[in-house]
Structure 1
Amino acid sequence: MDEFLKWYFSHNPVAAASLGAEGYDHTLGDLTASGWQTREREQVQWLDRLSAAEAPSLDDAIDRDLVLSQLRGSIALASWPEWRRDPAVYLSTIFAAMYTPFQRRLKPEAELVESALSRLAEVPGVLAACRANLDPDLAAPLLVTRGLGQARTGRNLLTRTIPAMVEDAELRARLAEAAEPAARAFDDLVAFLEGFECGGTWRMGEKLYSTLLREREMLGYGAAELHAKGQAAWSELDARMRAVAVGVNGGDDWRAAMESLMDDHPPTLADMRAEYEAETRRAREFVRERDLVTFADGEECEVLPSAEYTRPVLAVAHYLAPPPLSASRRGIFFVPYTPDDFTPEQVRQRLRTNSRAQMPSIAVHEAYPGHHWHLSYMAGNPRTVRKVFRTPYFTEGWALYVEKLLHEQGYFDTPATELAHLDCRIFRAARIVVDTALHCEDMTVEEAETFMSTKASLSPGTAQGEVSRYCAWPTQAPSYLTGAIEIDRIRESFQGTPKEFHDRIAGSGGLPLGLAEQVALA
């Protein structure tokens, strides 16, 4: 396993550095066609080697099977090469490598700047690889348009935003000067993408989609079965919400009730951040008082505006975990700010989808005992590979599971917050229906946007951003409710206290659900 991780880190240096592995923070990696093809060949060899390896203990077997699930998923995706289809593969690598270290500040500033200078020098080559690798027959206009929106933030991010995060004036000047060639490369990429004509599809298709569910996520069913589960969950939640809505506005139209609740929102983006911070502190104290989990020593969750480069493509709150291979236990809950070019009405709609009734559920999901608690606590697991690989079917499933847990504990103690909690859940059921239908060619983008804005309480603009994300990230959107349902099922068979269950299953990592069940019930 140590040999495999060394191979994985050397081929994925940005991911390695983000995890806290030492010695990988000076390069963006080889993103040329030959680099991608080399990785594809070698991961097949690793699959063969690890499949034949015996495991002397249950923990070793879990580690091996975790890696095998990741390898099987990657090998299946070789038939759907993102590096030929989507400019975001390159852009996200650059942005994460440049921005995240300054956000975390785990090393002296001079070291951070030296690493950034080394990576900046590689940016033109990475963007040249992007232009060379994008295949007009495979790349989809929708994905290219998303990438174009991200690429347009590149110059400002590299020449202004990141240098402004450097306190030392001399280091700041060096960084800004070195950023200019990289910024020009972004200008060139923007011009290229504006004129890039392509005719590929973003639709993955049922066969590959189902393969990923079975092989990578280790679920016992494929896309059709998952779609049916989403429809059933939506119908059950719809009935519950009709009953709760009566306590909000006197009628059983929960969409109308949610619309009225969304009118009570923070007046500005800055106020939204401040109110989320207060709600995050309240959630932590509630979980601590009820002794639901064990907290990691030194854990801390900051609540900050979302990064500039994510704003064109992420319309919802999200979380940056502490690097699990480091000693840090400080995570960041990013509040979904809008791009600078949004109109006042677009900003208002973003604030409405972060209303005061919705904030408790979102803070629980992102912070306590959701993502921040889970990922800061699991960083203490002694099994290195558990810190490196995790699946959203556990991590997002966990965050939605704990929303239900806190509902059972009485955290959502008004009809308004209870309805908003259920709305967060029915939103995830709608995601299952839409994601499977989109990628199995049963729904158009326009139909999906309408579904998300009528079957969940999303504004049209937010629904548009959500559906765009589903098109670009197949199989991720269903992970929330699918994982939550599976964790609930495992809990029913667990013999012990809720705290013991939570510490064991979440502390084991972010495992595919089949492996998580083995750990919990061993």
Structure 2
Amino acid sequence: MINLVNVKNLTKVAMMCATVGLVGCNAVGLGGTASEVKSAVAQLPDSTEQLDKAFAQYSEAFIERFWQLNPTYAVYVGYYKYDDSLPVPNKLKMAKELNVYRAELKALEQFNVDKLSPRYASDYYILKNQLESYIWWYESLKADTWDPSNYNVAGGFGVILNTDYKPLNDRLKTIIKRMENIPAYYEAAINNLTSPTVTHTELAIQQNKGALGLFEGAIKDQVHGSELSAQDKADFDLALQKTTTAINGYIQHLEQLLPKLKADPKTRDFRIGKKLYDKKFELDIFSGYTAKQLFDKAVSEKSRVHKEMAKIADTLWPKYFPNKTAPSDSLIKIKTLIDHISVKHVKRDEFVSSIREQIPELEAFVMEHNLITMDKDKPLVVRETPKYQRGFAGASINAPGPYDAEANTYYNVTPLDNMDDEGAESYLREYNHWLLQVLNIHEAVPGHYTQLVHSNKSKSLVKAIFGNGAMVEGWAVYTERMMLEEGYGDFEPELWLMYYKWNLRVIMNSILDYSIQVLGIDEKQAMDMMVNQAFQEPAEAQGKWRRATLSQVQLTSYFTGYSEIYQLREELKEATGDKFSLVDFHNQFLSYGSAPVPIIRKLMFDDYVASHK
């Protein structure tokens, strides 16, 4: 995932000196000490304008070096300069990367953030958070030693194959070149994994089988059907043989290891514990809350939502059960009603196509009600989830980055092909007539798809590249409630009941994640929470349990971001009164890229109030 560049030979401060036109500013490379870099930065004029200019040049150079370190991530955001590079994740490379990130952090900290303008100060904090996160990942979390699913080469190859950033033949040659390091890549993966968990091993087996299918299927078909020379095709066939051997070897290694891991009581638990969890929450979420504060807030919000659902259930009960007395227990009453109406859902073989058909309806509502500026020139393509990406979430978005913003955004929907009839029915009841609409709001319009189109237009490349998960997921959750508040669905009580069920899932995500990773609850307890307190179908709850065993903290991003965005909106409403404009709020909020919500709040609050008096 991450490549190495020897930054000790780079002269960042020299570049800054040349940029601002200073006389007598000595160039100091990153091989120098932090104090030497600080001394050079100190020679800059004590003015915000000049410091901003220097920081802008520094961050631009940092990003270029970052792509050399992370060529696969670069491909995902549309930066293809290093597209033929597949780094080998061996211990030497990772040790060098750690040293690079430490040096970058020291250099960054030489800037006096208090003297930077808000725009660049916010970029400073985002870069600092990113560097601290990478360092902590290597030094403390050490997921490279226990998470086999970290090792999967398919993603970058899939982007190169499916994105028309250069002629197909050139992309195929890039793929052939990139395949050279696959055997060494998987050899390093096996060597790194000293204490794999059971759940991450199972996921790695599943997803790498999907990766195998990508090379033996779509890539092979494209190469053999292309206009490449006979020699190029022969080179590919040789590379394919080595690739399949390497991936199969990795899969077989994990399949042989799995029974031993399950039988050994000393096998590492997938739970990371309170100390690591608290720090991961702090670094990943970038919130005004601590992990425990967010957990407590979620528990309180769960109670509030239960009361709102009970009110709706009282209204709907006579409609659906005119001759039946309602249960005295409100949770049983809510669950009975939800179970009864959830039979209204699409057919199994129409699941993907029904989602595709609904997107234009959402776009029309957003534009007719002037909720957010929409860019109709940025295509959204609904497709079946590629097999190498399956096994984590049923629906997701693959969006182009700021460097290739004109490329397609893919709405990945996993078909129900591999489910038995009972499992498919449970899944469809979960994503019933009403919840499927909420899902599409979240994933597509005006959720992830719309937000990421705006993010790619951000004036700050730092904010567009280093997206904050809580802001991205929080925005998608926020739009669900906002759309219903603005009249989507004509205030149908069934839709609101299902929305609250969906929102309860968001709330429960935070409760569940903390309860599993920190408090140590087991699968039975988790299933009870999801099925009986959040009214989830067993298939959905089972999938969420699996997801909670494979990730840490990420499940809290939805509720955290949603809470902070909604609170910001309500405070701006109060501050501006009848001058408040929802479309202005949305457009301005999204203009800051995928920055953490606390940073966006700091950037926009006073400006928005001043412009809406």
Shift of 1:356: 1.5
Q: Is the 8 A contact 1:357 1:420 kept in 2?
A: yes
Identify if the C-alpha distance between structure 1 residues 63 and 296 changes in structure 2 by more than 3 Å, giving closer, same or farther: farther
1:333 matched to which residue of 2? 411
Give the alignment partner of residue 289 of structure 2, picking from 221, 241, 246. 221
Q: Is the 8 A contact 1:203 1:441 kept in 2?
A: no
Counterparts of 1:244 and 1:167, CA distance in 2? 59
Give the alignment partner of residue 207 of structure 1, picking from 275, 293, 305. 275
1:402 aligns with 2:479: yes
1:130 matched to which residue of 2? 189
Counterparts of 2:294 and 2:64, CA distance in 1? 36
2:309 matched to which residue of 1? 241
1:67 aligns with 2:137: no
Q: Map Cα deviations across residues 176-200 of structure 1 (whole Å, 9 max, x no partner).
A: 6643321221211111001224411
TM-score when normalising by structure 1: 0.93
SS in 2 for 1:357: helix
1:363 aligns with 2:440: yes
Contiguous gaps of at least 5 residues in structure 2:
1-58, 262-266, 319-325, 607-613
1:321 aligns with 2:388: no
Greater mean deviation of Cα atoms: 323-332 or 222-231: 323-332
1:497 matched to which residue of 2? 581
Give the alignment partner of residue 471 of structure 1, picking from 549, 554, 563. 549
SS in 1 for 2:495: helix
Counterparts of 2:237 and 2:307, CA distance in 1? 56
Contiguous gaps of at least 5 residues in structure 1:
none
1:180 matched to which residue of 2? 241
Counterparts of 1:130 and 1:484, CA distance in 2? 37
Q: Is the 8 A contact 1:155 1:183 kept in 2?
A: yes
2:137 matched to which residue of 1? 77
1:5 aligns with 2:63: yes
Greater mean deviation of Cα atoms: 162-171 or 222-231: 162-171
Give the alignment partner of residue 253 of structure 2, picking from 188, 192, 217. 192
Counterparts of 2:460 and 2:131, CA distance in 1? 18
Q: Is the 8 A contact 1:324 1:387 kept in 2?
A: yes
What is the one-letter code of the residue matched to 2:175?
A: A
SS in 1 for 2:382: strand
Q: Is the 8 A contact 1:329 1:376 kept in 2?
A: no
1:450 matched to which residue of 2? 528
Counterparts of 2:361 and 2:476, CA distance in 1? 17
Counterparts of 2:409 and 2:237, CA distance in 1? 27
Counterparts of 1:157 and 1:379, CA distance in 2? 28
Counterparts of 2:117 and 2:407, CA distance in 1? 29
Counterparts of 2:97 and 2:158, CA distance in 1? 26
1:510 matched to which residue of 2? 594
2:92 matched to which residue of 1? 34
Q: Map Cα deviations across residues 311-347 of structure 1 (whole Å, 9 max, x no partner).
A: 2332x21111122211415311111224x54323333
Counterparts of 2:286 and 2:548, CA distance in 1? 21
Q: Map Cα deviations across residues 200-225 of structure 1 (whole Å, 9 max, x no partner).
A: 12212222222233344332332222
2:510 matched to which residue of 1? 432
Q: Map Cα deviations across residues 157-193 of structure 1 (whole Å, 9 max, x no partner).
A: 2201444467944559665664332122121111100
Identify if the C-alpha distance between structure 1 residues 185 and 395 changes in structure 2 by more than 3 Å, giving closer, same or farther: same
Q: Is the 8 A contact 2:88 2:184 kept in 1?
A: no
Greater mean deviation of Cα atoms: 145-154 or 432-441: 145-154
Q: Map Cα deviations across residues 393-439 of structure 1 (whole Å, 9 max, x no partner).
A: 10000000011110110113322222221111100111110101111
Give the alignment partner of residue 347 of structure 2, picking from 263, 267, 271. 267
2:493 matched to which residue of 1? 415
Shift of 1:12: 0.9
What is the one-letter code of the residue matched to 2:127?
A: V
SS in 2 for 1:510: coil
2:73 matched to which residue of 1? 15
Q: Is the 8 A contact 2:345 2:432 kept in 1?
A: yes
1:146 aligns with 2:214: no
Give the total of aligned pairs.
515
What is the one-letter code of the residue matched to 2:598?
A: G
Counterparts of 1:219 and 1:30, CA distance in 2? 34
Greater mean deviation of Cα atoms: 163-172 or 193-202: 163-172
1:350 aligns with 2:427: yes
Identify if the C-alpha distance between structure 1 residues 109 and 458 changes in structure 2 by more than 3 Å, giving closer, same or farther: farther
What is the one-letter code of the residue matched to 1:337?
A: P
Identify if the C-alpha distance between structure 1 residues 438 and 290 changes in structure 2 by more than 3 Å, giving closer, same or farther: same
TM-score when normalising by structure 2: 0.80
1:372 aligns with 2:449: yes
RCO higher in structure (CA 8 A, sep ≥6): 1
1:488 matched to which residue of 2? 566
SS in 2 for 1:333: strand
Identify if the C-alpha distance between structure 1 residues 336 and 454 changes in structure 2 by more than 3 Å, giving closer, same or farther: farther
Q: Is the 8 A contact 2:434 2:498 kept in 1?
A: yes
Counterparts of 1:297 and 1:278, CA distance in 2? 16
Q: Map Cα deviations across residues 203-249 of structure 1 (whole Å, 9 max, x no partner).
A: 12222222233344332332222211111111111111122234444
Identify if the C-alpha distance between structure 1 residues 274 and 202 changes in structure 2 by more than 3 Å, giving closer, same or farther: same
Give the alignment partner of residue 111 of structure 1, picking from 150, 155, 170. 170
Identify if the C-alpha distance between structure 1 residues 390 and 327 changes in structure 2 by more than 3 Å, giving closer, same or farther: closer
Give the alignment partner of residue 158 of structure 2, picking from 99, 111, 117. 99
Q: Map Cα deviations across residues 457-509 of structure 1 (whole Å, 9 max, x no partner).
A: 43323322222222222110011111111001111233441111111112201
Counterparts of 1:307 and 1:489, CA distance in 2? 37
Structure with larger Rg: 2
Q: Map Cα deviations across residues 240-276 of structure 1 (whole Å, 9 max, x no partner).
A: 112223444445522222223332222124x111211
Measured on the aligned residues, the alpha-carbon RMSD in Å equals 2.2
1:385 matched to which residue of 2? 462
Counterparts of 2:241 and 2:392, CA distance in 1? 24
Identify if the C-alpha distance between structure 1 residues 380 and 246 changes in structure 2 by more than 3 Å, giving closer, same or farther: same
Q: Is the 8 A contact 1:69 1:217 kept in 2?
A: no
1:281 matched to which residue of 2? 360
What is the one-letter code of the residue matched to 1:89?
A: N
Q: Is the 8 A contact 1:211 1:222 kept in 2?
A: no
Identity across the alignment (%): 22
Q: Is the 8 A contact 2:506 2:558 kept in 1?
A: yes
Counterparts of 2:344 and 2:162, CA distance in 1? 31
What is the one-letter code of the residue matched to 1:207?
A: K
Identify if the C-alpha distance between structure 1 residues 284 and 193 changes in structure 2 by more than 3 Å, giving closer, same or farther: same
Q: Is the 8 A contact 1:365 1:371 kept in 2?
A: yes
Shift of 1:455: 2.5
Q: Is the 8 A contact 1:438 1:444 kept in 2?
A: yes
What is the one-letter code of the residue matched to 2:391?
A: P
